Amino acid sequence: MAEPISLETLSGSSRRHLNESAVKAVMAVAATVSLAISALIVFSLVREAWVFITEVEWSTVWGSSWAPRLGRYDLKTLVVGSLLVTIIAMAVSGPIGLGAAIYLSEYASVRVRKVLKPTLEILAGIPSVVLGFFALQWISPNVIQRLFDGTSQFNLAAAGLGVGILTIPLMSSIAEDALKAVPNSLREASAGLGARKVTTTIQVILPAAVSGLVAAFIVTVSRAIGETMVVFIAAGGGGNNAQFTLSPLDSGSTMTAAMAAQASGTDSVVGEALTFQSLFFVGLVLFVITLSLNIVADRFVRRVRTRY
């Protein structure tokens, strides 16, 4: 016979209860610290940006060049520069990343996958500074200058191609996750109706995964906008004096590269009084753009999760 059950036997040991709450407290602190750091970053960003917003002569924010040390703060130079680089980058990483994802998820045999996936991950591990020099020293002379005679070695197009290569692994890995999330039962259903693999992929798998694929695209856009080093090295805007341009074959600068340019060197805050604050202003604009993109992407990812 088992001994009679009392309230004490069911209340458990008090030491274990104590352990449990201690562990919970430590985890809570870790979570709070990361939250607090994020809040502090946003706070410092907004504080300096606010100084710029309140003190700047707004006519200098709409002009023809970004040259903060000369008191020229044409924001559209940087936004358009970022846009050009991002569009070119996505023209590379969108199709190639999606194609690689479809191949890995739908076609590749186990053996091919075993080789291809780690290779893509190695590509993701290349430091962006290395890709920056690759863009400047190889892509620019061998691709851009060969195609468009008389182009400067420093140009936004080469930077865009570099960023595109850099973001292929990100695009392909998120897109592959989205495709893998489509249940196998749908592939079988389609095959069972006499559909070929191409038909199944285009008519069933891609539509079923569309929100995840859109999310992959947006996250990659967000990464491309945020990329700094490749543009800083290859686009040649210099940051001190980037002229407004709509042509990707010109030298130029992006939001991120302009910030890096200002922050580098010993004379980083020398010049016009608001040079330092202008960095935070650009940073805030960038933050708002990427945050909105990430929120939109998150919505799409959630739709994928609730689908099946």
- Binding residues (CB under 8 A) for another protein: these are 109-110, 183, 185-196, 199, 203-204, 207-208, 307
Closest distance between another protein and the C-beta of residue 307, in Å?
Answer: 7
Nearer to another protein, 165 or 215 (CB): 215
Distance separating alpha carbons of residues 125 and 211, to the nearest angstrom: 27
Please state the φ and ψ torsions of residue 236, each to the nearest 5 degrees.
75, 15
Closest distance between another protein and the C-beta of residue 194, in Å?
Answer: 3
Nearer to another protein, 42 or 202 (CB): 202
Nearer to another protein, 127 or 192 (CB): 192
Contact 250, 155 (CB under 8 A): yes
Closest distance between another protein and the C-beta of residue 172, in Å?
Answer: 22
* Distance set, CA 107 to CA 15, 113, 168, 302 (Å): 55, 9, 19, 26
Closest distance between another protein and the C-beta of residue 218, in Å?
Answer: 21
Dihedral over Cα of 158, 159, 163, 164: its sign: negative
Nearer to another protein, 5 or 110 (CB): 110
Nearer to another protein, 11 or 185 (CB): 185
Closest distance between another protein and the C-beta of residue 231, in Å?
Answer: 40
How many CA atoms lie less than 13 Å away from 25 in the CB half-sphere?
6
Element (H, E) at 243: strand 242-243
Closest distance between another protein and the C-beta of residue 308, in Å?
Answer: 8
Q: Which residue has 């903060």 as its token pair?
A: 68
Distance separating alpha carbons of residues 6 and 146, to the nearest angstrom: 87
Closest distance between another protein and the C-beta of residue 182, in Å?
Answer: 9
Distance separating alpha carbons of residues 45 and 285, to the nearest angstrom: 10
Distance separating alpha carbons of residues 199 and 193, to the nearest angstrom: 11
**Neighbour count for residue 2 (Cβ, 10 Å):** 4
Nearer to another protein, 146 or 196 (CB): 196
Element (H, E) at 65: strand 65-67
Nearer to another protein, 27 or 193 (CB): 193
Contact 256, 286 (CB under 8 A): yes
Distance separating alpha carbons of residues 259 and 265, to the nearest angstrom: 12
Nearer to another protein, 145 or 200 (CB): 200
Closest distance between another protein and the C-beta of residue 105, in Å?
Answer: 14
Greatest Cα pair distance, the chain, in angstroms, is 96
Contact 211, 304 (CB under 8 A): yes
Residue 177 Cα to chain centre, angstroms:
17
